[in-house]
Amino acid sequence: MPAQKLKTVRMFLGWSAATLGILSVVIVGKGIMSGTELVQGALVRQPVTYKWVSVSAEKIMSGATLPANAHVVFHLPEGFKSITRETLLGHEGDNVRYWGYCFAANYDPRNVDRRRGFPGLIFLSEKERAFRAAEARAQVRAFDPESLPTVEEIEAMNRIQKPVIRHQLEVFKPSTMCYIMTEDPLPIGLDMDGDRLNTKMEKEIGTHPTAPDSDGDCLIDGIEYQTHTNPIVRDTDGDALVDGIEDSNCNGRIDPGETDPRSKDFDRDELCDGVCRVRLKNQFIFIGEDKNLNGEVDEGETDPGKWDSNGNGVSDHLETIRCIAEGKEVCP
């Protein structure tokens, strides 16, 4: 590690020794008292062997990666609006177990009155919440007529079934300091353009960190990332219809009257939603349903949402092919 960086880390450790002392209790311990509630949360069984890492506000401004299996303290910068947990930590909550704790912006370890509870809020990833819930369920004893539990055991089981920790923090505010432990690396950063992707993620996937709709197709980058359309290609499925024409209200869902921007033949009649190049006999032709690519079913077009647009029992594709084979001037 460069001397300057090492010095900075040492300064940080010295400056916040009291803070880290308290945090250590959270990690190793079997917990701390928050009011009358026991706060627990080690992800790993012997966390004391893991190193401490500090992630500065400057690093978070430009986007950083939180390391796995380490005690990570990160500092959120001043002056941004606020950011949801899922955006700040890269939408990884369903796939990665992580948990953490944030202190209030005015937190000062010298002024902590422990009788009033621990000064901050816990956050858990969705996967971590599911893991803890499963662990609690596994503690519930199965019915066995030959070995009924005692009153004390029933009381103990009921205590286990009650959540010992509340998941509290979903929106992160400026100037807060947080602790996190994660089982996999997490991309962390602010969301400068409000498109629900943090800066680190935007750099990784190639979208613009200060333009909410990088490809200009009407769907913002975060929606495209989460619903699996391509945020840097206007026509994800290659049927010549722009993503934001197929998903005309640009909300990432397929609502009535819309087609799927991830699939070029929404009604599966073998005729593509917009216009596609296909081989017919020994030549290539361009055929499709919404031929003028405007998202409407106009005169002379078939409906990309219906297998048999005119209800005559013949698929749109077959009607179109027959029409072309007959050499008609206008075909659907």
Q: What is the contact surface with Ca ion in residues (CB under 5 A)?
A: 191, 193, 195, 197, 213, 215, 217, 219, 235, 237, 239, 241, 265, 267, 269, 271
Nearer to Ca ion, 97 or 200 (CB): 200
**Smallest separation, CB 246 to Ca ion (Å):** 5
Q: Which candidate, 75, 96, 65, 79, places its Cα nearest to that of 200? A: 65
**How near is the Cβ of 320 to Ca ion at its closest, in Å?**
10
Q: What single string gives the DSSP state of each residue in 195-215?
A: SS--HHHHHHHT--TT-SSTT
Cβ 169 to Ca ion, closest distance in Å?
Answer: 21
- Which residue, 182 or 199, has its beta carbon nearer to Ca ion? 199
**Whole-number Å distance between alpha carbons of 187 and 209:** 14
Distance in Å, CB of 67 to Ca ion, minimum: 22
Q: Shortest CA distance to 21 belongs to which of 112, 99, 106, 115?
A: 112
Q: Which is nearer to Ca ion, 54 or 320 (CB)?
A: 320
- CA distance linking residue 289 with residue 269, whole number of Å: 10
Q: In 211-329, which residue ranges form alpha helices assigned H by DSSP?
A: 221-227, 243-246, 316-325
Q: Which is nearer to Ca ion, 86 or 195 (CB)?
A: 195
Angle between helix 17-28 and helix 3-15 axes, rounded to 10 deg: 80
Least distance from Ca ion to the Cβ atom of residue 267, Å: 4
Q: Closest Cα partner for 41 from 118, 135, 122?
A: 122
Which lies closer to Ca ion via its Cβ, residue 52 or residue 80? Answer: 80
Closer of 26 and 219 to Ca ion (Cβ) = 219
Q: Which residue has the tokens 């990690």?
A: 27
| Radius of gyration of the chain from its Cα atoms, rounded to whole angstroms | 28
Question: CB of 192 within 8 A of CB of 208?
Answer: no
Cα→Cα distances 216→194, 199, 235, 243, Å: 15, 18, 11, 10
* Smallest gap from residue 247 Cβ to Ca ion (A): 9
Nearest approach in angstroms of CB 251 to Ca ion is 12
- DSSP element (H, E) containing 56: none
Nearer residue to Ca ion within complex by CB, 84 or 139: 84
Q: How far is the CB of 98 from Ca ion (least distance, A)?
A: 21
Coil, strand, or helix at residue 61? Answer: helix
Query: Of all residues in this chain, which one has the CB nearest to Ca ion in the complex?
Result: 241
Nearer to Ca ion, 32 or 271 (CB): 271
For residues 299-318, b (16+ Cβ closer than 10 Å) or e, as one string? eebbbbbbbbbeeeeebbbe
